[in-house]
């Protein structure tokens, strides 16, 4: 049936015949392909971003190639920051440190502030999600406070802590906590009545209900909050460090600006972006592992 129309008019439509030939040989072409299937699939995912990146770099190079350009071209960035790139673990005096140490200092602040925010956020979210009175009392306050920009807290916390480091940590805490609280509360409000009924029939106590029903059931929501929180924390730390000084990637950028080292700023921005991406991926992978079974039955 399929072959007959081809045979009927081979002279008139040679293209039709050619098409049939290519369709009939996919098996042999797969077998003869030099790369295994997974490799070509990988290339399909990696090539497009690489091509885009190369295109953007070339474009940037062309636009900023004039010697009077205020922003350095990629080649100039690399040549000017080569010392920083190859010596990330350099240890010097005061704030004169390798980029690795700057990023590590920032990550430490984020880790501390974020962990405190996660603990307090889940606890407060659970309270607001569980109790109507807590919801009515606290939710309006949360809704107002969460719109306050992170840096607006900094003067207040500097006044309270009288030191840069705890103030920066506090800014991270106050930035990350709102999405964690709100998402946890929503997750707990959305626990199906069925699960609550199961808990009631089994007479689970408050603690058992919290650990065995509430946290696993709300886990997907909690992780959404945690993921938004880590992104905001990383956004806030760079800004906060610009103001508090000391070792940290934010202050590194500010310091570079004050010394007109534009290439250093660009390198730092690339690192900040990559670290932020990795932090997001890290939380996303933890979420994937933890909540793989929490999807509805």
Q: Which stretch binds other proteins (CB under 8 A): 23-31, 72-80, 203-211, 234-242?
A: 203-211
Comparison of 220 and 276: residue with beta carbon closer to other proteins: 220
Q: Which stretch binds other proteins (CB under 8 A): 39-47, 52-60, 69-77, 210-218?
A: 210-218
Cβ 184 to other proteins shortest distance, Å: 17
List the one residue out of 151, 153, 165, 180 whose CA is nearest residue 240: 151
Cβ 76 to other proteins shortest distance, Å: 54
Using CB under 8 A, pick the residue from 201, 206, 258, 260 that binds other proteins: 201
Q: Which stretch binds other proteins (CB under 8 A): 73-81, 106-114, 193-201, 276-284?
A: 193-201
Cβ 204 to other proteins shortest distance, Å: 7
Comparison of 29 and 296: residue with beta carbon closer to other proteins: 296
Rounded Cα gap, residues 213 and 196, in angstroms: 8
Instruction: Measure Cα distances from 237 to 78, 149, 205, 275, 296 in Å.
Output: 26, 13, 40, 12, 37
Rounded Cα gap, residues 143 and 127, in angstroms: 16
Using CB under 8 A, pick the residue from 213, 232, 256, 279 that binds other proteins: 213
| Footprint (CB under 8 A) of other proteins, residues 48-87 | none
Cβ 198 to other proteins shortest distance, Å: 5
Q: Which stretch binds other proteins (CB under 8 A): 56-64, 173-181, 211-219, 271-279?
A: 211-219
| Footprint (CB under 8 A) of other proteins, residues 264-293 | 293
Cβ 213 to other proteins shortest distance, Å: 7
Q: Check binding of 210 to other proteins (CB under 8 A).
A: no
Cβ 295 to other proteins shortest distance, Å: 6
Measured in degrees and rounded to the nearest 5, phi and psi for residue 259 equal: -100, 10
Binding mask 228-247 for other proteins (x = CB under 8 A): --------------------
Q: Which stretch binds other proteins (CB under 8 A): 82-90, 132-140, 216-224, 278-286?
A: 216-224
Name the β-bridge partners of 97.
Answer: 91
Cβ 215 to other proteins shortest distance, Å: 10
Kindly list the residues in this chain that would bind other proteins in the complex (CB under 8 A): 192, 194-195, 197-198, 200-204, 208, 212-213, 216-217, 219, 293-297
């Amino acid at each position: 049936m399929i072959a007959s129309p081809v045979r009927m008019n081979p002279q008139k439509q040679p293209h039709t015949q050619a098409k049939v030939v290519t369709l009939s040989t996919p098996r042999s072409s797969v077998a003869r392909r030099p790369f295994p299937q997974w490799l070509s699939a990988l290339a399909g995912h990696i090539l497009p971003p690489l091509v885009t990146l190369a295109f953007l770099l070339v474009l940037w190079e062309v636009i900023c190639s004039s010697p009077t350009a205020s922003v350095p071209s990629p080649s100039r960035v690399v040549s000017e920051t080569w010392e920083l790139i190859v010596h990330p673990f350099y240890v010097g005096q005061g704030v004169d440190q390798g980029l690795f140490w700057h990023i590590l200092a920032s990550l430490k602040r984020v880790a501390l502030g974020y962990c405190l925010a996660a603990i307090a956020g889940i606890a407060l979210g659970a309270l607001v999600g569980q109790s109507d009175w807590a919801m009515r009392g606290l939710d309006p306050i949360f809704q107002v406070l969460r719109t306050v920009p992170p840096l607006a807290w900094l003067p207040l916390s500097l006044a309270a802590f009288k030191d840069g480091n705890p103030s920066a940590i506090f800014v991270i805490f106050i930035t990350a906590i709102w999405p964690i609280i709100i998402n946890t509360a929503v997750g707990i409000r959305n626990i199906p009545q069925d699960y609550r009924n199961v808990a009631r029939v089994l007479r689970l106590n408050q603690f058992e209900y919290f650990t065995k029903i509430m946290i696993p059931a709300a886990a997907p929501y909690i992780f959404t909050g945690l993921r938004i929180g880590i992104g905001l924390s990383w956004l806030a730390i760079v800004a906060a460090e610009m103001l508090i000084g000391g070792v940290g990637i934010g202050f590194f950028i500010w310091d570079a600006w004050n010394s007109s080292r534009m290439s250093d700023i660009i390198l730092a921005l690339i690192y900040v972006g990559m670290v932020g991406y990795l932090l997001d991926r890290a939380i996303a992978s933890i979420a994937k592992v933890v909540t793989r079974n929490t999807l509805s039955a």
